[in-house]
Structure formats: C-alpha cells, structure tokens
Amino acid sequence: MTSSSTDTGTIVDVTMPQMGVSVAEGTIVEWRKQRGDWVEADETICEVSTDKIDTEIPSPASGRVVEILVEVGVTVQVGVTLARIATDARPGEPHSAEVDAPPAAPATPAAPAAAPSPPAAARPAPPAPPRPHPERSRRRYSPVVQRVADEHDVDLDLIEGTGREGRVTKQDVLAWVHARSASHSADGEPEPVLHIESPYRPGAGGSVTGPYVAPEGRPLSRMRQQIGEHMKRSQQTAATCTTWIEVDVSRIEVARKQLAITALPLIARCVIGALVDFPLINAWLEDDVHTVHEQVNLGIAVALGEDGLIVPVVRGAQDLSPEGLSRRIRDLARRARARQLSPDDVRGATFTITNPGQFGSMMATPVISQPQVAILDVEAIIKRPVVITDAFGDDAIAIRPMVILGLSWDHRALDGALAARFLANIKKRVESYEY
Amino acid sequence: MTELTYLRAISDGLRTEMREDERVLLMGEDIGVYGGAFKVTDGFIEEFGPDRVMDTPLAEAGIVGTAVGAAVVGLRPVCEMQFADFVSCGFDQIVNVAGKMLYRQGLPVNITVRLPSGGGFSGGPFHSQNPEAWFMHAPGLKVVAPSTPEDAKGLIIASIRDPNPVIYMEHKNLYRHVKGEVPEGSYETPFSARVARPGSDLVVITYGAMVHTALEATEDIEGASIMVLDLRSLVPLDEAAILSAVHECSKVVIVDEANQTCAAGAQVSALIAERAFEDLDGPIVRVASPDIPIPFSPPLEAAVLPSVERVREACRDLLEY
C-alpha cells in the first residue's frame, strides 16, 4: 500500500466531491495520476463525469498517490474515497515535480542538487494556456473596469493602461471594447450558432484514387454514447407526437433589432408566457407521477461542434426579460462551449427549446428530454408570401418573416388539443408582441 | 428676467411670497428698522409693517420657539439667524421641537430658518461656519443651499411653501459677489440637484459657494470633460442625480466648505460607496476644510477653506489616476 521509501505517513483521502446541489454520484473517467506518482496540491488527480459534465478533481494535498480505490468507468456516491495520498512521502525515485520540494531533513540523501534549472522551472506547467503578459496578472482593477470587463468578456491582462503606473482606466477598457467590436464587425464573424443538428458539409472529399481501403471503426465518444442512450430511452418511454404551427414573426424581428439581440430570447419569452398559462406542459412525467412546475427552468440546446450537444438550463426563466434571457443564454452557451458548465447548470429543466434553424431547415420532430413532457423546435425564419386580412376584412398577399414551431409532446401526459392550444397561445404572443 | 445679486434675489423671493401670502411673516434680530445685518430685509418694514417684519430680542431659542408656535396656528414664519453660527442657541427648538412636532403630535411646522453661512471674509470662528450637517443629522428637517440668484429666489419661495421646517443656507460670500438673471414673479425651485456643467471624465459634487469654486477650478484641466453637480438640496438628497453622475463619470471629487468630518459630502461619499461601487474608476476624493475653527487671519483662512487651486489639484490628481 505504501511505497518503499515512505514511513508511516499521514494519509489524505481523495473523495468524490459534491459538484452541484443535485449531484449524488459521479463516474471516474480518467486517472491523471497513477499509484506511485507524485501529485501537487490542487493539481488534477482525476477526471469525473456527472451527466454530460466532466470535472477535473484537484488533489487535496501534495504527496504520493499510494492507492487508487475506484477504477475508470465505475460510478460511486459523493463522499466515497477514490484514492489515498501519503503527504509526508519523500521522493524515492526522482520525479519531475519533486525537484523543488524542500528537503525534509539535512540527512536526506536523494536531494537532487545536480538539477541545473531553477526550482520554478521544474514545476509542472499550469494547465491554463500561458498568459501573454504574466506580470500583469498581479495588477489591480477598479470596480468599474472589472464590471465593464465582465459585461464584455474582456481579458484585462491584454490591455495597456494609460493611468498612473499603467493602471487600466475605464476609458482604456471602453476603448478596447470599442476597437474589438469594430474589428469584429469588420471581420463579419458571426456568433456561433446555438445548435447545429447536422454537421454535414457538402463538397468535402471528392475523387478518391488508389485502392479502396475500408475505414477503421472507432468507438463513439462518451458524450455521443450518453446522448444516444438518453434519446433512445426517451423514445422507448414517451408516446411522442409532434404538432406544428406557422407563426408570423414580423413584430419579433422589429423588437430584435431594437434590442440588438437574437430572435431566440424573444420567442423564448413568448414560450415562457405560454408555459405559465399551460402549466401542464411545464411538467415532468416519471412513470405515472406527473409533476407540474410553477417555476420555468428553460433548457436551451447548445451545439458543441462535432462532439455533440448539451442543454444548459435558464433557471427561473419566468422572471426574466428578453434582454435578461439573452444574456443568460449567451453566458450558458459560452460556458458550454468552453466546457465550463457545472452539473447544476444542466439539471432540472422543466421544458426545452431547440433552435436548429440557422441553416434554413424548416421542420423537425425533436426528441423529448426526459422526464419533461414536451420540447419546442424553433426552425428557420424564412420570408414567405402569406395571406393577411386587413382591418376591413380584405385579404391580401404580403411578404412576412415566418417560422414553423414544432412541439413534440408526450401523449401519456397530454392530448393533441392541449398541444395545439399551447402552440396557438405562443403564436398569439409572438404575433402581438409589444415592443 | 432681471439681473440681481444673490442677496437681492433672496429679498425678491421673500417680498414676492409676502405679497402673495399674508400668512408669511419675518422674525429676527435687527431685521426691521435696520433692515437686517446684511440688508436682506431692507425696506420690508415700510411695506409690510412691524407685525409682519418683527424685530426680536437677541434670543435665537425665542425666535425659533415663537415661530414654531405661530406655524402651529397656521402662519408661515421665516426666521433670520443673524449669522448661521448663532443658530446653536436655537438648536433645541429646531431639532427637538420643530423637527419632531409632526412625528409626536401630527402638527406640521411650516417654518423657514435662514442661515447666513460661510467664510472667506475674515469673519473668524463665530461668523464663518457652515453648520448644515448638524441639521442633516436631525430627522424631520429639510436643508437647502442655493448657489445662484435664480435658485436663491426659487428655493426661498419653495421653502416657505414646504410644510416642513426648512433650514435655508445662504452663503454670505455669494451675497454681493454673484449676480445672475432671476425670473420675475413667483416660482419654486425643486429640492433636487442641478447639473451646473455637463461632463463625462470626472464629476465634482458640491453645493452653495463651492459650486463657483468648482466651476472655476475645472474650467480647463488639459481639456478634460468635467461635470459639476450642484446639489441645491441636502435633505432630501438627490440620490438619483448623484448616482447617475457617478455612472457617467466614474471619478468623483466632493467639495465641502464645512469641516470635513461628517460634512454633507461625507454622506454623499457613503452613498456612492454603497450604491455606485461598480461605477467607480478611482477613489472617492474629498476636499473640505480641516477639522479646526475658521481663523481670523486672512492667510490662515485662505489656507483652511477649499480654494480653486486645491480643488483643481484634486481633480488633476484623480484624472491621472
């Protein structure tokens, strides 16, 4: 259990941490350290998966890993001991991380005095990418500078300060944000789309010369496996039906431009209003237990490139304005893409919106995220000729931005009439949107 | 519009309101036959008679106490303290009687107490003080401090009409030094702040005579865009205007002519620290008189009171921060 050079050491347990209020267990994905390895305090010792979120577990202490108790792939409860670390272990064999460890006693024979590099250089490289100006990370920023930086997602270390002793002033950070947005709009680089159902790109490949070589199969990624398992279980569990409605989004388009946000948070705001009117749809069905929620926790599907997709949750969405929803959705999407969501960010959705229409697709039959009873699919907004009736009852053909909303709903929990009334409620809210 | 001095604007406001409302009467030391130590009420006794322009004994407690009684039976007395410094003799009547009458007995005390305040003319420790913060600390009172002739007239009329006891700070150094256009007839200036000069790099928040000091000090500091916010009313304090100015400028200099500790500017500073923390791009800077009596000696007095140079230096330093 202990390495040969370790005396009766102080043993520190590495336990499965509580990673979110609703998380009870986690699965070991990878051990970064093996038995016998030296680990620094706060260095990642292993990676743990809960639902779709992978979390790096920092070591609680510096020392040698003397025991690994839970193998990769095994799921254990919060609090279970995963590994043990001997904290007063001393290097037996040289280990790169140990070079700068202070000698325990003058008599220690293994102190590698011959190491030519200074101690700092021997430390393991931090996992974060190197900062362009490491000396700046000690700078202090005024409250307004920090607020502006947070609001605009600015790395303050990148900014040259013009204040006293190089302090970054409010004017400096505002000018930087201004310059960035100017260069962004010049690049014409669009925001990444929230949800890409089909990553297929035509035109790739082309003529293949030479003898045909059968491609080698590879196992699905864990995320794909989890998505697949979840979707399959939903289809086996729910009696899924889909109902569509066509909606004129002219008023949303105007409001969107006024508020400088996307259409999604505005449509989401209408959907939330409809959910409050139809609480039976803001609900969970677990076996024969139907739980109706007062609070709307809105799941928003976010594509993670080719890896898969994840559905972070906007909690208490009924209390948010379209601008507030926009901010929360952007924040969640940004953190999802940066793989920075916490397990709580993806739990407890009472209803889900998926928005894969950025490529012009018009209709879909989304799969319900269990145990919710419905999911709304928002497709592409497309200008179409439609028949409108004016105030005098006269009909005319007009060009209007239209969208098809598809609601997949669980026939065990509700019937088609309710689904249709719910969609009609959304349609009415969207088409009479007050901006 | 006519151009009046600050002093004449106060006279004009008093006269206008006395002509419009016969419940308004004046009380004070030598305000009648002599016309007041500073001649604010010169000629009033001839126009309104000794019943409405009352010369009183040298007894501030008596002046304010009598005024409180008169207000309770429906009159609208305006008391003059010959110098603001003397108000301490009437302190109990203002703070404990007038300020709490509505709370204790449900009786509004519609009095106005005029306090000729401030230094800058070698008046020494008994004739130069700015005691407005004493009254800001006492519930039930309003405190106003106009900086321009137009506001001096509008605020004296608004104070007389306000049903609460109002402490009206009139700065002696502005009396004859400041002139301005004053609307004719009757009008009220609201108990809220005024942007004396718009700007976006830094805001100087002040009131009374220091508004003029601040305007002069910040006229041109290397082209910086400097706002000057004239509070005009200290109670109620225009929190929205202060927070909005801080949001806009992010750097704040607060100027008080009063002694620094617990001055009006201390309350402004606390408000900003509590409610505008995330708007700040530098420390809140205060310029005020040190916590000492105001000296007679002209060079010493000039060293004690916030000067144009001190305010300018404070702004320049904060701009560079």
Is B187 a member of any domain?
no
Residues spanned by the domain of A143: 134-187
Same structural domain, B225 and B310:
yes
Cβ atoms of A409 and A373 within 8 Å: the answer is yes
- Which structural domain range is residue B300 located in? 194-320
Of the candidates B125, B160, B182, which is a domain's last residue? B182
Lowest mean pLDDT among A121-125, A295-299, A315-319, B173-177: A121-125
In this structure, the answer to whether residues B12 and B159 fall within a common structural domain is yes
Q: How confident is the model at residue B27 (pLDDT cuts 50, 70, 90)?
A: very high
If contacts are CB pairs under 8 Å, which of residues 147-176 in chain A contact chain B?
147, 163-164, 167, 169-171
Read off the pLDDT of each residue in A321-349 and give the average, rounded to a whole number: 87
Task: Indicate the residue type of B185.
Answer: G
* Mean predicted lDDT score pLDDT of chain A: 80
Q: Which of the four pLDDT bands, split at 50, 70 and 90, describes residue A52? A: low
Say whether both B256 and B155 belong to one domain.
no
Residue A129's pLDDT band, with cuts at 50, 70 and 90, is very low
Q: Of B33, B30, B307, which Cα lies nearest the Cα of B173? A: B307
Q: How far apart are CA B232 and CA B209, in angstroms?
A: 11
Taking CB atoms and an 8 Å cutoff, what residues of chain B touch A145?
Answer: 281
Predicted model pTM: 0.54
Q: Do B149 and B217 share a structural domain?
A: no
CATH number, residue A63: 2.40.50.100
Same domain? For A239 and A369 the reply is: yes
Q: Which residues of A participate in catalysis according to the annotation?
A: 411, 415
Q: Using the Cα atoms of residue B150, residue B152, residue B157 and residue B159 in order, give the sign of their dihedral.
A: positive
Residues A227 and A166 in one domain: no
Contact state of A169 with B280 under an 8 Å Cβ cutoff: no
Pick from A147, A164, A171: CB nearest B278: A147
The answer to whether B274 contacts chain A (CB < 8 Å) is: no
Q: What total of structural domains would you count in chain A?
A: 3
CB atoms A147 and B279 under 8 Å? yes
User: Do residue B156 and residue B122 come from a single domain?
Assistant: yes
Considering only alpha carbons, which residue of chain B is nearest residue A145?
A: B281
Q: How many CB atoms are closer than 10 A to CB B53?
A: 24
CATH code for the domain in which residue B293 is found: 3.40.50.920
Would you state the torsion angle of the CA atoms of residues A411, A414, A420, A423, taken in this order, to the nearest 10 degrees?
Answer: -100
Residue A108: pLDDT over 50: no
Same domain, A267 and A312: yes
Q: Where among A59, A92, A125 does a domain terminate?
A: A92
pLDDT value at position A434?
84
In this structure, the answer to whether residues A414 and A287 fall within a common structural domain is: yes
Q: How high is the pLDDT of residue A143?
A: 93
CB pairs under 8 A between A and B: 28
Of A92, A113, A144, the domain-final residue: A92
Q: Given B150, B182, B214, which residue is the final one in a domain?
A: B182
Q: Are residues B256 and B314 in the same domain?
A: yes
- Residues of chain A contacting residue B280, judged by C-beta atoms under 8 Å apart: 142-144
Note whether B153 and B198 are same-domain residues.
no
pLDDT tens sequence across A395-417: 999 999 999 999 999 999 999 99
- A338 and A390 both lie in a single domain: yes
And the tokens for A214? 């059968």
pLDDT classification of A118: cutoffs 50, 70, 90: very low
Mutate to test the interface with A, among B249, B250, B277 (most CBs of A within 10 A): B250
Residues B199, B243, single domain; the answer is yes
**B67-125: pLDDT as tens digits:** 999 999 999 999 999 999 999 999 999 999 999 999 999 999 999 999 999 999 999 99
Of A91-105, A380-394, B97-111, B305-319, which range is least confident?
A91-105
3-state DSSP call for residue A386? strand
Helices (H), A128-277: 143-152, 170-187, 222-237, 250-259, 263-277
Contact A144 B321 (CB under 8 A): no
Q: B119, B147, B182: which is the final residue of a domain?
A: B182
Question: Do B6 and B67 belong together in one domain?
Answer: yes
Residue A211 within a domain: no
The neighbouring-strand residues paired with A48 are A28, A55
CB contact under 8 A, A142 and B320: no
Q: Are residues A173 and A276 in the same domain?
A: no
Q: Are residues A54 and A4 in the same domain?
A: yes
Question: Domain tally for chain B?
Answer: 2
A426 and A290 in a common domain: yes
Quote the minimal CA–CA distance from A145 to chain B in Å.
7
- Same-domain check for residues A272 and A396: yes
Question: SS3 sequence, B155-177?
Answer: HHHHHHHCCCCEEEEEEHHHCCC
Per-residue buried b or exposed e for A133-154, using 16+ beta carbons within 10 Å of the residue's own CB: eeebeebebbbbbbbbbeeeeb
Evaluate whether residue B77 is within a structural domain.
yes
Q: Which value does ipTM take for this structure?
A: 0.77
pLDDT value at A424 more than 90: yes
What is the domain-level CATH number for residue A159? Answer: 4.10.320.10
Give domain status of residue B188, yes or no: no
In a domain, B301, yes or no: yes
Q: How confident is the model at residue A193 (pLDDT cuts 50, 70, 90)?
A: low
For A331, phi and psi rounded to 5 degrees? -65, -45
Share of chain B above pLDDT 70, in %: 100
Chain B hits for A148, Cβ within 8 Å: none
Higher pLDDT, A66 or B101: B101
Task: Report pLDDT for A106.
Answer: 43
The C-alpha of B312 sits at a distance from chain A's nearest C-alpha, in angstroms, of 18
Measured between beta carbons, the chain B residues lying within 8 angstroms of A169 are: 281, 321
Give domain status of residue B245, yes or no: yes
Judge whether A46 lies within some domain.
Answer: yes
Residue B46 in any domain: the answer is yes
A260 and A372 share a domain? yes
Q: Is the residue at B126 inside a domain?
A: yes
Residue A141 and residue A5 in one domain = no
**Measured between beta carbons, which residues in chain B are less than 8 angstroms from residue A164?**
320-321
Partner-chain contact A145 B278, CB within 8 Å: no
State mean pLDDT over A185-198: 50
Spatial distance between the Cα atoms of A383 and A261, rounded to a whole number of angstroms: 19
> Cβ contacts (< 8 Å) between B282 and chain A: which residues?
142
A198 within some domain: no
> Is residue A111 situated within a structural domain?
no
- Indicate whether B20 and B163 sit together in one domain: yes
Tell me: do A317 and A399 sit in the same domain: yes
Distance in angstroms (rounded) separating the CA atoms of residues A104 and A86: 14
CATH number at residue B37: 3.40.50.970
Angle at the Cα of A160 (from A154 to A165), degrees rounded to 5?
125
B278 contacts A143? CB cut-off 8 A: yes
Establish whether the linkage from the previous residue to B50 is cis, with ω within 30° of 0.
no
